[in-house]
Amino acid sequence: MTMRFEGKRVIITGGTGGIGQALVELFAGEGGQVLFSDRSEEDCSDLGNALRRKGLETIFLAGDLRQKAYCESLISHAVENLGGIDILINNAGIIPRGNILETNDDMWFSSLDVNLTAVFFLCRAAIPHMQQAGGGAIVNTSSTWGIYPGPDHVAYCTSKAAVAALTKNLGRDHAADGIRVNAVCPNEVNTPMLRSGFIRRGIDPVNAVEELGKTVPLGHIAEPAEIADVIAFLASNEARYVCGATVEVTGAKPVYG
């Protein structure tokens, strides 16, 4: 096992979700000192215990990313408990579904709050610590649906497009600080977020994921680890010349075309 993140202080949001769990295990497994975040204290505690049984120590701080105070406390928690921040992975997200006529105010604002504004709060609070340390890496999770908006997800696509723009802005503005800011843009990934869409429509998610896989030139939709591996690459020294990039990870499947 390579130890690409030995001694690195890493914050991961959405840590108990589909891609999040793969990320927490990968970074902790490769030597990172991981602080992860998610909404449910109980789910965070269960994940921390499951990882401890595998010999991996992590810490967590549960809370709601819609609260600015929580976003800022996550950064100070890393500074107080890990001694700083080297890597920030903004992975948490929600997917309100609907075209504009189906999108109520709460769907719109919650999408922007979690997918975009929390990323803004976390980056703004983390960057001074990275500047002080002489550099760092931030990896945001946008989506191919942010770059090529798919149908009937107006709030989600808009928020993910803004994350791609924010990533390019920060990548440009903080390159001279040695802080690399990049984003991963997955197409479909086999996680609760994707499966909930099938369940909502009364479709069996196991069959649906298999059928969906046939539409992907590589033969299957992404598994969480296949996205976590790209995020880890972007956070690692191997990506030292990658900055302000939005990396599409699609198995060659276009959103449309």
Ligand X SMILES: NC(=O)c1ccc[n+]([C@@H]2O[C@H](COP(=O)([O-])OP(=O)(O)OC[C@H]3O[C@@H](n4cnc5c(N)ncnc54)[C@H](O)[C@@H]3O)[C@@H](O)[C@H]2O)c1
Q: Which residues are catalytically annotated?
A: 156
96 touches ligand X (CB under 6 A): no
Are residues 87 and 11 in contact, defined by beta-carbon separation less than 8 angstroms?
Answer: yes
Site for ligand X in 98-137 (CB under 6 A): 114
The Cα 139–Cα 234 span in angstroms is 7
Closest CA to 107 of 116, 92, 91, 94: 94
**DSSP assignments along 86-114, one per residue:** SEEEE-------B-GGG--HHHHHHHIII
User: Is residue 159 within the footprint of ligand X (CB under 6 A)?
Assistant: no
Q: In angstroms, give the least distance from the CB of 250 to ligand X.
A: 10
39 is a site residue for ligand X (CB under 6 A): yes
What span, in angstroms and rounded, lies between the C-alpha atoms of 15 and 77?
16
64 binds ligand X (CB under 6 A): yes
Are the CB atoms for 143 and 160 separated by under 8 Å?
A: yes
Stretch of residues binding ligand X (CB under 6 A), selected from 44-52, 91-99, 175-183, 202-210 = 91-99
Q: Please identify which residue in 128, 151, 192, 254 interacts with ligand X, judged by CB under 6 A.
A: 192
Q: State which residue has the least CB distance to ligand X.
A: 17
Residue written as token pair 């997955």: 186
x/- mask, ligand X, residues 168-187, rule CB under 6 A, reads ------------------x-
Placement of tokens 């990396």 in the chain: 247
Which residues make up the interface to ligand X (CB under 6 A)?
A: 14, 16-20, 38-39, 64-66, 91-95, 114, 141, 143, 186, 188-189, 191-194
